[in-house]
Amino acid sequence: MKMHSLHPWTIEPAGARELQRELAGRLRFQFPPGLRVRHVCGVDVSSARTDNRLYAAAVVFSFPELELVEAATAVLPAAFPYVPGLLSFREGPVLLEALQHLRVTPDVVLCDGQGTAHPRGVGIASHLGLFLDRPTLGVAKTVLVGDYNPPGPEPGAVSPLVHQGRVVGTVLRTKRGVKPVFISPGHLVDPDTAVELALACCQGYRLPEPVRQAHLLSNRLRRVKA
């Protein structure tokens, strides 16, 4: 899978925050006209308390059938500390390594984490989207920034996630009786399409299937390698 060389990863936290502010200006939120989504990919990273390595998984499914097509993994030492709001600088290199191993290029990438629902508007989904130059969206289990009213109980119910007076994402109920997920555009996708894609990838679980399977695979990889 091809990707752009956007910037080096060797950077201090203060410089990383400044870089995020710069990258925010490069994001675009229009879905590519005429793009037919045939393959979607979920990505996630797992870490162990016993070492400094990160375990990434990228899992590709056909769309809309959601049949497994391919999976790739990568293991790298963490070169950046865990700092809230700077997760992409820690997890970005290992995720890009896993994505490079894919033979099938996905049309859309769903990331376990935030897109624009981020203090500086550039979560892991947005950051990866700029490297990949393709539509990405964030699927988060918890809120990083913003306030919201709970969506209705039925699957597909939504409510806006608002930060500093601006809608930065959507709170989406994917399954009755479970907590919602937090969907935000990463890059090259508008908020409504991000929600539609996330919901279309759900198969009866809280998380969309590509993200769920990437989560499971990254955890299996960690248990085997750690």
Q: Has 44 been labeled as part of a binding site? A: yes
As given in the structure block, the two tokens for residue 211 are 């993200």
Total Cβ atoms within 10 A of residue 18: 13
The whole-angstrom separation of Cα 187 and Cα 10 is 23
Phi and psi for 188 in degrees, rounded to 5? 60, 30
Q: Has 51 been labeled as part of a binding site? A: no
Beta strands at 53-62 and 68-77: parallel, antiparallel or unpaired:
antiparallel
Instruction: Confirm if 172 and 180 have CB atoms less than 8 A apart.
Output: yes
Q: Name the strand (E) or helix (H) holding 191.
A: helix 191-200
The whole-angstrom separation of Cα 217 and Cα 213 is 6
Using left for φ > 0, alpha for ψ between -120 and 50, and beta otherwise, residue 144 falls in alpha
Q: How many CA atoms lie within 13 A of 66 on its CB side?
A: 15
Annotated binding-site residue numbers: 44, 112
Annotated binding-site residue numbers for Mg(2+): 44, 112
